[in-house]
Every structure is written in C-alpha cells, then in structure tokens.
Amino acid sequence: MLSRRRFLVSGSLAAAAGLAVPLSGVAKTVRPTRQTTTADLSDWTRVREQFDLDPAWVHASLFFIASHPRPVREAIERYRRAMDANPFDTVEHGMFGAEADNMPLKATRAIASYIGGKPEEIALTQNTTTGLALIYHGLALKAGDEILTTEHDHFSHHESIRLATERAGATSRRIRLFDSSDSISANEIVDRIRKAIRPNTRAIGITWVHSSSGLKLPIRQIADAVAEVNRDRKERVLLIVDGVHGIGVEDPAVAASGADAFSAGTHKWIFGPRGTGFVWAKPDVWAMLRPTIPSFLSLEVYEGWMQGKPPAGAANGSWFAPGGFQAYEHHWALPEAFEFHRAIGPARVTKRIHELNSRLKDGLAAMSHVTLYTPRSSALSSGIVCFDVKGMQPQQVVSALRAKKILASTTPYRVTYARLSFGVANTTEEVDRAIREVKALRSI
C-alpha cells in the first residue's frame, strides 16, 4: 500500500520532487479507529437484531443490496463524523499514514484473512461489475483470441467480456451448461466446459452462484478440469469467477478454490458498506494483467510516476484498485463487515442459509402449481431460489407476494422467473409464511 510518509523519507526522491517538509507534522488527533464486534451473536434472534430492517415486511431479497448490520452502520458513521470534523487530516492519515493507520491496508487484510489469500493479492473496487471490467480489460488479448463464457451469466459479465474483446479484436463464445433444470449434474457442467475449450481460448468466465436460476457451480471441479487442459498448452487458460452470490454464503476459501481471478461486491451477502467490492487474483495472474484505471494505493506506481518511468516490479492487486477520491467512510468500514461474519462463524452462516432455502425449496417442490428451477441439492444451489407459478407471469407473482408484505424479485434475464432468498437476517417463520402465500396463489 502507498504510504506518502514512506515515499517522502526515501531522501533523493523527496529532494527530486522539491518536497522539503515531511508529512509527519500532520495533526495526529484525527485518526479513524476500528472497533471489534462485541455483540452476542450466539443465536439467530440476536443476529437479526443487528439489522434495522422494517419488521412489517418479510425481506426475501436481501441478496440484492445489503442492509448494514449495526457494527457496519456505526463504523460508517464514525468515519463520516471524523471526515466532517477534519477532512484533510482524516483522509491524509487514513489513506497515506503509517501502517498502523492505513485504512486500505486494513481492508485488504480483512478480506485476505476471510478468503485465505494475502493483502497484496487484493484490489479494492466498488462492486462486482467494476472488478470484472478490470480483469477482462487487463488481459493482453489480441486478434484471434477467444474468451469462453456461458449463456447463464449476468449482463455485467457478458458486457465486460464483449467490451474487452471488441477493443482487442478478439472474440467471445457462450455455451449452455445444461439443457433442463430437471437434469443438472456437476459432472456434465464440468464436461461441457472442458469440451468447449479451443486452442485459441484464453480465459473462461463463469459465475459461482447464478442469480438467473440459483444454480451453484462446482468451481473446484471446473478449476481442476481447466488445470488438466493447461498441462498440454503453451498459453494458459485463465478461470475468471463472478463470485458475488457465493461469497458470504459458501466456504470462504476463495484463494484455494482453483480460480485464477475472482470478483465480488461486498454489499450483498457480506453485508459490507454499499459501494464496496474486491478482486482477488493469483500473484502470477496480476503480473500478466494490465491496469486500466490509475491507482492511489500502489507505492511502485507512484514512485514510477515521480521518476518519469513505468512502475518497477511485477504488478499486484494494489496496482488495479481504482484511484480517485472515494466514499471513504464506506470503504474503511469494510473490516467491520468481515469481522461481523467472523463473529457469527462462516460455517454457521453457510449452514443457516442452506437450511432456510432448503426449507423453501421443499415447500415449493410439493406444490403442483409451482415449477422449481433451482436444484434441490445443496451441492448445486446456495441462497437464491427461482420458480414459476402456473398461470402467472413472474412479475405478477412478485406483486401478489408484495401485497402480502413479502419482498420477492424477478430475475433480470431474457428468461425470467420469480425469486425468493433467505439469509441470516431471516427466520424459519418467514420462510413458512412465504410458502403459505405461494401456495395460496393457486386460487388466484
């Protein structure tokens, strides 16, 4: 991470820049400080109490954008007050202070600790879309190269690929991973991806958990299959993952998943501050990518600019974090979101979300007027459940549930379904209420 003090004390560089006064004299009275989660989160009622959700509604679409839990709300407010009181000193210390004060470093450490990586492997972003764009536009694509993806991915993923390949004169191709929601298997998904790889394929873009159907892909198996293909290739095929609906629900060990690069917003299942996200990539992948947006977080990039040279050394995550002034009170509150998850226990979170949504799927599957599209198996599903009600358009289903104070959603894809999702801020009673109301739609 860039420390302006660290840069200025390098002597000759400071002199060359004409900087005679170091920043060590900046007032030290305004320093953002973190607070560890102290609430008792041993039962789900206490977890729910951390959210300021309107109790009049069943919030069955919280995966869309998070309600901030109390520790995150309080951190955002704490940093906001510090900046309103003394914006220069607060940002100067928070962005360019010594290691103990450096807020971006604290955020990357929190993310790295959660996913099993290293801080230098993390680029801080604003959302999944920004992260995907940074990855695909960072690829050294050339005419004739191809990026392989699937028909099931989100607009942001498809568009990031399209824009990057068009600019480079490369191409993209989409495949189907299954023919029917009734016959999805992990082995078939892996086999279809393996068989679709061509000599000119440079990267494969997939989504961990599909918001279009609720399907969860077997990332480890796919990664192993790609690794097998790469053994016989001169040019390596990269596996790029949109992980936004898996992170905060499934096993957080992203760095051990076999993916080469991973993008996710943290303002969904992680309950992070709105407008925050990250990209994780393997060190050798960062080294082969090219930054798109100037970064404020890299000492190497800043030193190169000061010397009128390209940055020295291999690129890492800090080179790719979009620079410019940010909503610092949100970015700096990221560690509190990961601490909140740690305090609950990631394994407990996974178990709870699967229990609630399996309960929902079991209830929907028992209804003759409902078609369930999300796999019943927890191995192939996560926290999103998609379905149709016979004789009703998806938006009609959502409107009917809304009239009963249940907030559902529709999938924003060419083929659209009704969608319900339950997380750690929900209760089994709310799941049962949703099941009863969908059952009642039979008579409408």
Of the listed ranges 37-46, 224-233, 386-395, the least confidently predicted one is: 37-46
Residue 97 has a pLDDT of: 83
Using the Cα atoms of residue 430, residue 436, residue 439 and residue 440 in order, give the sign of their dihedral: negative
Mean pLDDT, residues 141-157: 97
Mean pLDDT, residues 71-80: 97
Residue 98 has a pLDDT of: 86
The Cα–Cα gap between 58 and 429 comes to 10
Q: Give the model confidence (pLDDT) of 298-337 as tens digits.
A: 999 999 999 999 999 999 999 999 999 999 999 999 999 9
Close Cβ partners of 125 (under 8 Å, ≥ 6 residues apart): 131, 134, 263, 276, 277, 278, 279, 321, 322
Residue 10 has a pLDDT of: 37
Share of residues in the chain with pLDDT > 70 (%): 91
Residue 33 has a pLDDT of: 58
Mean pLDDT, residues 347-361: 98
- 99 pLDDT band (50/70/90 cuts)? confident
Q: For the CA atoms of the chain, what is the radius of gyration?
A: 23
Residue 405 has a pLDDT of: 98
Of the listed ranges 28-42, 76-90, 313-327, 349-363, the least confidently predicted one is: 28-42
Q: Which residue has the higher pLDDT, 12 or 273?
A: 273
Mean pLDDT, residues 113-123: 97
Domains of the chain, start order: 107-343 (3.40.640.10), 345-443 (3.90.1150.10)
Residue 100 has a pLDDT of: 87
CB 421, CB 383: distance < 8 Å:
yes
- 19 pLDDT band (50/70/90 cuts)? very low
Please, which contacts does 354-358 make with residues 24 or more away whose CB atoms are closer than 8 Å?
354/378, 354/382, 354/383, 356/422, 356/423, 356/426, 356/428, 356/431, 357/381, 357/382, 357/383, 357/384, 357/385, 357/421, 357/422
The Cα–Cα gap between 441 and 388 comes to 11
Residue 137: how many other CB atoms lie within 10 Å: 18
Residue 21 has a pLDDT of: 28
- 24 pLDDT band (50/70/90 cuts)? very low
Q: 285-303 burial, b if ≥16 CB within 10 A, otherwise e? A: bbebbebbeebbbbbbbbb
Residue 271 has a pLDDT of: 97
Residue 39 has a pLDDT of: 78
